[in-house]
Amino acid sequence: MFITVGADGFIKWWSLNEIDNAEMDETPHVPITSIKEIEVKTEDGIHACLVDMVKCDDFWLLQDGNGFLWKLDCESQRSEQIKEFQSGSINEMALSDAYNLALTIGDDGTCRLQDFVRKKELYKRKFTGRGLCCDLLKRSEANKGRVAALGFSNGIVRIVALAETQMQLVCSFKAHDTAVVKVKYSPDQSMFVAASD
């Protein structure tokens, strides 16, 4: 017997005997039914995109292309998310000049605020389009160092406020017809620049 994982979110067990004894005819496809299968998905019903699995003592660790790490109990066959990451590449990071904060933006359209001293993600927000660039406004009495600009592959720039518990959208606008590859505030906070492909 051997086991496969797939981008459809299923783990499947197969009979090596059945595969070894399969008779091929004119077509290159041989229909074989799995012995057993387990579906891995979130509480919202979104299937995991399984790309790898590692066997531990009494559980499996499953790598999800959507940015999650799953644990599958061998006995109960129940799966649970144990860690979340940015899926795809992280394209830019901006550091706060006032706090121990790092703002990241990635291919999955997610922007995350991290406290890098406490090694903790404070919160995240997902937007439409691939996130390509970000910048934090220099701290002032007015903005408290909690305003950021985000640039996306669809030409959209979003300005967000980094509140205590969530990222709030202040405004968004179509800055370019092509991908926004760089956003930058001027040091004196009087200007903002967005550059595109």
What six digits make up the tokens of 167? Answer: 């990222």
pLDDT of residue 189: 86
Shortest CA distance to 13 belongs to which of 33, 40, 41?
A: 33
pLDDT above 90 (res 152) = yes
Instruction: Read off the pLDDT of each residue in 61-82 and give the average, rounded to a whole number.
Output: 86
The two most distant CA atoms of the chain are separated, in Å, by: 76
Structure token pair of residue 29: 């496809």
Domains 2-84 and 90-196 share a fold: no
Mean pLDDT confidence for 116-125:
89
Q: Which of 80, 82, 69, 4 is nearest to 36 (CA)?
A: 4
Among 2.40.50, 3.30.70, 2.40.10, 2.60.40, what is the CATH number of 2-84?
2.40.10
List pLDDT tens digits, range 129-142: 999 999 999 888 87
In this prediction, residue 156 carries a pLDDT of 97
Q: 90-196 has which CATH code?
A: 2.130.10.10
Residue listed under structure tokens 């394209």 = 91
Banded pLDDT at 19 (limits 50, 70, 90):
confident
Tell me how far apart the alpha carbons of residues 168 and 125 are, in angstroms, rounded to a whole number. Answer: 9
Under DSSP, the state recorded for 7 is: T
Mean pLDDT of the chain: 88
